[in-house]
Homo-oligomer: A and B are copies of this chain.
Amino acid sequence: MSTIAKTPEPPYYAVIFTSLRTEGDNGYSETASNMLMLASEQPGYLGVESAREDLGITVSYWSDLESIRNWKLNIEHQEAQKTGHEKWYSSFKVRISRVERDYGI
């Protein structure tokens, strides 16, 4: 179960990944779980939040742009991105954003 990420004081970065899936699992669940684990081991990783109905939204938080770039270039992640593009997602959008302010309870 995903919970609210315990991020530090801004500024930090958020990668907002929004996607629509194709039919069937096709190995998606296992890889998704592995990628969440692998991401959490990367330098600069701050946390992740995820939910899916028809639309899936995964927001990962990072300390800086270089950490995001390195994670994008990770070889296992590259393989997952390729399969995602070819098999798992009918459409997706990645938005890289700088968190400037946050508040909550």
Give A contacts to B, CB under 8 Å: 1-5, 7, 10, 13-14, 16, 18-20, 49-57, 59, 85, 89, 91-105
Contacts and interface: CB of A to CB of B under 8 A. Distances in A.
A83 B2 CA distance: 24
B104 A2 contact: no
Contacts of A99: 16, 95-97
B55 A4 contact: yes
Given A98-B97, A99-B96, A1 B55 contact: yes
Contact of A51 (B53, B85, B98, B100): B53
B98 A98 contact: yes
A55 B96 CA distance: 21
A52 B51 contact: yes
A57 B57 contact: yes
Contact of A92 (B5, B53, B89, B105): B105
